[in-house]
Amino acid sequence: MKHSFSLFQTKYHHLLIIGSVLALALLAMFLSYWPDSANVWSTFTTVFLGIFIEAMPFLFLGTVASGFVEVYIDQDAIRRFIPQSPVLSALLGSVLGLFFPVCECGVVPLVRRLFRKGLPIPAGIAFLLAAPVVNPIVILSTATAFGFGKILFMRVGFTVLIAIITGLVFTVIPTQWEILKPTLWITPETCDLHDHQHDNPIAEMPLTQFQKIKQVFQIALDEFFEIGRYLVLGGLIAAGLQAFIPQSILLDIGKGPVLSVLVMMGLAILLSICSTVDSFVALGFIGVFSTGSVLGFLLYGPMVDIKSILMFSRVFRPRALLYMVIIPFMLFLLISVSLNYFMIW
The candidate with the shortest Cα–Cα distance to 339, out of 290, 302, 267, is: 290
What is the DSSP-derived secondary structure letter of residue 316?
Answer: B
Q: Is the four-CA dihedral 56, 62, 66, 72 of positive or negative sign?
A: positive
The candidate with the shortest Cα–Cα distance to 223, out of 93, 21, 68, is: 68
The candidate with the shortest Cα–Cα distance to 119, out of 63, 217, 191, is: 191
pLDDT digits (tens, 9 = 90+) for 69-95: 888 888 888 888 888 899 999 999 999
pTM: 0.79
Q: Which domain holds residue 290?
A: 2-29+36-342
pLDDT digits (tens, 9 = 90+) for 155-187: 999 999 999 999 999 999 988 889 998 876 555
Q: How far apart are CA 129 and CA 320, in angstroms?
A: 13
Q: What does the DSSP assignment read for 34-98?
A: STTHHHHHHHHHHHHHHHHHHHHHHHHHHHHHHHHHHHH--HHHHHHHS-SSHHHHHHHHHHGGG
Structural domains in the chain (count) = 1
**pLDDT at residue 53 greater than cutoff 90:** no
Q: What does the DSSP assignment read for 203-220?
A: GSPPPPHHHHHHHHHHHH
Question: What confidence tier does 7 reach under pLDDT thresholds 50, 70, 90?
Answer: very low
**pLDDT at residue 255 greater than cutoff 80:** no
pLDDT digits (tens, 9 = 90+) for 103-129: 788 899 999 989 988 899 999 999 999
Highest mean pLDDT out of 28-32, 59-63, 237-241 = 59-63
**pLDDT at residue 246 greater than cutoff 80:** no
